[in-house]
Structure 1
């Protein structure tokens, strides 16, 4: 009956008292079947043989200081298709919805809605038999001013103390660096960019220091995010070690970055941890070229300069003659080279898994430009959303752990032998993965810092 239903606008204020959320603005969307709540740091656990989840909610849009820690019983786990067509496996909880003096239980899926305009979406399943939507109106059940919202949250919400975070990199205008600064500031932190070349340090047993141009001292930072370009690995890692010696948390440690940048050592570490890679040979200006080629299965094969970076110094030799020619050319440089089998069935594609704090938070498939191959992604190509297998996720997590990296881009290739690991990147770019997956990876990186400092305070 129409007369028994409440008319609501396209946006309204509601409360979720069981989650200790006194006010949250929702998008009322009868086109969406399921309701969704913005949640980060989602972690399942067992209680009395039942699955529960803990999660954090920033209930006010564009306010990273208001944080609520929640926990709830999991009633289901479902694959949800978003408005953009992406599919995501989400935890489902049940909680009480209060709106304009009425209350009833609804189902909520938990997902990161940082890039959305509303922290909560109210779908038609939650409205059936109770509401009618007037899409031309807003706040038919009452608007709330900023002061009203603040008073609702008085003593009910934990405010994160703003952290002082340093972003140690080379170019402040890169998409990744801009996004990290933006995400940190949105969550209430002071994020400052520090150019690696303009930092210098004082080595002293009693008063070690790090200075920035003009003599500014950086000893009071809470955390550092090192994003070190390959050409600055030595000095960038020296700075990172100095921060670590002063008990400043670094999202990736200097040791982890150093070993991930050493191509040979990183491959040996991966193999020692039981992670499969394409068959690879290593030599210093080899005299027995034919045996080196034969060792990795013959042509076609990939030849890499050990000191090459980001796809440079990587050649696909399609024939044995071409392979001999390239290897002999590198010989004249007295260069260390890797020779690796070419995975033809991958068809120029690989998978980039983005790992943060021991979890694969996003994944994309990369395809090399026409006429090129996977190692030359820096020349262009496309990135798209892909569903990775549980085995691929395990490999990515295991690889990041083997390197000691909290944040890593793990590159995997699908072969007839199963997934093989190509490379682990300690400063993975965000533009491709955020565009392909529509996930706010930058905020997840800041969240990893918040989580660490919450459980490991400096003082």
Structure 2
């Protein structure tokens, strides 16, 4: 077989990855070939490990991005020319050089600091290539106009949206399901760790950067799933994406007001949504009347800053209620005092609202020996048939909070259904498990429906 003669620098392509051409350093001193890649993320496909990644194929050009995925054939430690050891994913894909094309193994790594996006090592060249180190571009060199044209076509072939999931834990069931649902519908899904994002405030060109300096400027939509402990920073990032004209499934304003328990209850009442009788006071001197205001004991004491059922106390006697309220007040903690719905018998409802429609509902029941302090405290979940009135309340509540996606908690009382809380980042595991419905898919469909191509 006649061998192909290459110079020390050449242009090659990876047709299976959708890369029409990329400049490579031809290095017979390097054993392994390496391809520039960022946002590298493994996933399962038909029981096998695959990896998705982004490539900026043109040096010093961060705007042109090709989204790729390939089957992982290995994961190995590679020593760079500087002596740094790094564990990399290895993929196998076709390499195009001139009129020749053959399968090669390539490692994926961030080569932003290197002079070439591609390094062609001797394993990929063995038996096929001779290198003349004094020559360059023996196979030809594309013009700037040609590069612009071929990469515009390559990017235009993308039919799905590029969606970022802004959250904290990629292993959380809800986050994994959303990623899977988006990929199943043909979208580019990327997990964005809130703590690894930072922003530039600028009137002309606001930016969000990701750890390592990557600029997040090419997303079509963002799904914010912000845990309560980082509401302030997560909402700041969401506002920044909105300033960059990126569609956000739930807005920063809606998430912020949903996390303010007192304001959200006032907002719901303003929109005609009934809640358990609730009291709020600033001074311990008003404790006695505060207790009377909500119908006496037993009653619920809730910390305004409490999250996920924490900071919630059931006071069964007046003495206990006074003690708990005054203890919180002595710490300058803001609290709500709320009537206890005894007839609910430790049960409440979670209605999942997407785009103004109840897509699933379940009943939650406290474990034996526990109380449900007018909120979800664990226990078991089961399918439930909700009434038209309960659906109406859930839809009205989500609309009042301006949330496209909401978990609405309702309790059944002798006065009728009462709203307890509206969650802007509701979990999927319990309700998908109980109802066997693809709620993550409904969230992706909402983005498709509401997103407008720029």
C-alpha distance in structure 1 between counterparts of 2:366 and 2:385, whole Å: 19
Structure 2 equivalent of residue 21 of structure 1: none
Residues 278-427 of structure 1: matches in 2 within 5 Å?
278-375=276-373, 380-427=378-425
C-alpha distance in structure 2 between counterparts of 1:284 and 1:219, whole Å: 45
- Equivalenced residue count is 300
Deviations 1:255-284 (A, max 9, x none): 000000000000000000000000000122
Deviation at 1:376, TM superposition (A): 8.4
Deviation at 1:380, TM superposition (A): 3.0
Kept in 1, the 8 Å contact 2:375–2:420? The answer is: no
Deviations 1:369-414 (A, max 9, x none): 2222224876530000000000000000000000000000000000
Q: TM-score, normalised by structure 1?
A: 0.64
* Structure 2 unmatched runs, 5+: 1-45, 47-156
Structure 2 equivalent of residue 246 of structure 1: 244
C-alpha distance in structure 1 between counterparts of 2:382 and 2:259, whole Å: 26
- Please state if 1:186 is matched with 2:188: no
C-alpha distance in structure 1 between counterparts of 2:291 and 2:341, whole Å: 15
Q: TM-score, normalised by structure 2?
A: 0.64
- Please state if 1:452 is matched with 2:453: no
Deviation at 1:332, TM superposition (A): 1.4
Kept in 1, the 8 Å contact 2:164–2:223? The answer is: yes
C-alpha distance in structure 1 between counterparts of 2:270 and 2:367, whole Å: 33
Deviation at 1:313, TM superposition (A): 0.4
Deviation at 1:328, TM superposition (A): 1.4
Deviation at 1:160, TM superposition (A): 8.5
C-alpha distance in structure 2 between counterparts of 1:358 and 1:372, whole Å: 33
Deviations 1:281-330 (A, max 9, x none): 01224312111100100000000011111110000011111111111111
Structure 2 equivalent of residue 37 of structure 1: none
Residues 39-438 of structure 1: matches in 2 within 5 Å?
161-375=159-373, 380-438=378-436
Deviation at 1:161, TM superposition (A): 1.4
C-alpha distance in structure 2 between counterparts of 1:274 and 1:379, whole Å: 27
C-alpha distance in structure 2 between counterparts of 1:217 and 1:445, whole Å: 26
The structure that has the greater radius of gyration is 2
C-alpha distance in structure 2 between counterparts of 1:343 and 1:210, whole Å: 46
